[in-house]
Amino acid sequence: MLRHSNWVAVNKDLVKLVGCNSAYLLCYLADKHQYFASRNEIRPDGFFFATAADVEEELGLTTREQDGAIKRLVLANFIETAVKGIPAKRYFRFLEASEQALENALLGAQNCKTSFDKSAKLDTTKAQNSVQQNVETNYKEHTKISNEKSFLSGDLQSPFENIKQPDEKAEFSEWLHNNGFTRLSKTNFFLNKEKSCAKKEKLGEVAYLATLGAIDAYLGDNPKYLDDKKAFPLIFDRFAVSPELIACKNDFNRVFSAKFNSKLALHGRAAEIALNGIISQLKDLGGDMPILEKITRFFDAIAKLPKFASEEAWNPTFINSGFGIIISLLNNNKTNQPAKVETFKERDERLAKEKDAERQLRQFEQERIKAEKAQIVRFIDAGYPLTPEMLQSAAYRELYGNGETF
């Protein structure tokens, strides 16, 4: 019954070499690779994805347990890992060198055990030295078996037991660089493994990567920001991107793209402040509905209001400032009740609010364009290439017109 379906075959020799969790995960990844290959869904560079949430659901390994297992497999040159795509996902790759390393390790483990069984009469020291020589040949500098420990019941000692642990800070910097956080990788920013895992578990993998991206982007305009900072976990929390904010951005763009067949950039501190304001006001509405579902329904609903028939109305600051009026309009539409006749006083108050909201919108746009102009000038003076968003922005057109781009 256990082997009938939904099972993972685990090689026993592999368990002795890398431990239960690592062997369990590697055999699961082999199944994943075969599944994606049968559907022609392996990326051209050989990577395939397996998110932390998927692995935890299917194998029962927590994020922390997965990190430890992955680290052992990478040290053994069995797999490579990377973070790719939008939204970011965790990818793995088997290389020819990885496959050869795995084959050599398993053959070496089997040969070591067979040789030990046949020479049971040999003294412990000779048997131990023989096994050590075979394993060191297979793992080279990554594996080392101690001559001072004896074998019990013919079991192989784990070749990872005496590996010299790498500098965790240097390892984190290398990981940052490999995943595109190039500015962060050159600073003293450091989250040790325990705190890094805690941040992932609290925020989720996507929000964790988004937070690192936010810090890295901020360093583009403030390269010395982290030079005198010592409490790096506090800096991380200051830039932490909540799952609600990510969901809000995704739902905003989803509805906007479907309505106008284009995307609206939601980068920058002002947009995030406005979106967080919308989230906060949605939470204050009460009710038992989860906040993520509230966010989805809110943007689906306002897309149907005549007030948001034009792209200009879709400004996070404008939506946040007029949240009360928007909820009132949605409630009227929901109950299908005709709006009551306004008094002259109510009309004047409504018009004054709308006029004030338009004034704030114009002021916000002017400040945003001014900030974008300053950023474009800094990039050009420093010799940095302009992004496609910069080249297509209103700020760029005001500075240089519609002529040739840099």
- Which amino acid is residue 395, in one-letter code? A
Mean pLDDT of 296-319: 87
**pLDDT surpasses 70 at 247:** yes
* Mean pLDDT of the residues in the chain: 76
Quote the pLDDT of residue 291.
Answer: 87
Neighbour order of strands in the sheet with 48-49: 48-49, 89-93, 80-84
Q: Model-level pTM greater than 0.75?
A: no
Q: How does residue 333 score in pLDDT terms, banded at 50, 70 and 90?
A: low
Quote the pLDDT of residue 217.
Answer: 84
Beta bridge partners of 83: 90
Quote the pLDDT of residue 406.
Answer: 42
Quote the pLDDT of residue 148.
Answer: 38
Residue 131 token pair: 């096994």
CA distance 319 to 129: 73
Kindly state the percentage of the chain with pLDDT values over 70: 78
Residue predicted with more confidence, 129 or 185 = 185
Q: Under a CB-based contact definition with an 8 Å cutoff, are residues 10 and 23 in contact?
A: yes
CB-count exposure of residue 146 (10 Å: 0-12, 13-18, 19+):
exposed
Quote the pLDDT of residue 160.
Answer: 45
Residue spans of the domains in the chain: they are: 1-165, 168-239, 262-340, 347-406
Quote the pLDDT of residue 109.
Answer: 59
Mean pLDDT of 250-261: 88
Q: Under a CB-based contact definition with an 8 Å cutoff, are residues 74 and 80 in contact?
A: yes
**pLDDT surpasses 50 at 187:** yes
pLDDT tens digits, one per residue of 72-89? 888 888 888 888 776 678
Token pair 């945003």 in the structure block, residue: 368
**pLDDT surpasses 50 at 117:** no
CA distance 129 to 121: 15
Phi, psi of 272 (to 5 degrees): -65, -40
Quote the pLDDT of residue 140.
Answer: 45
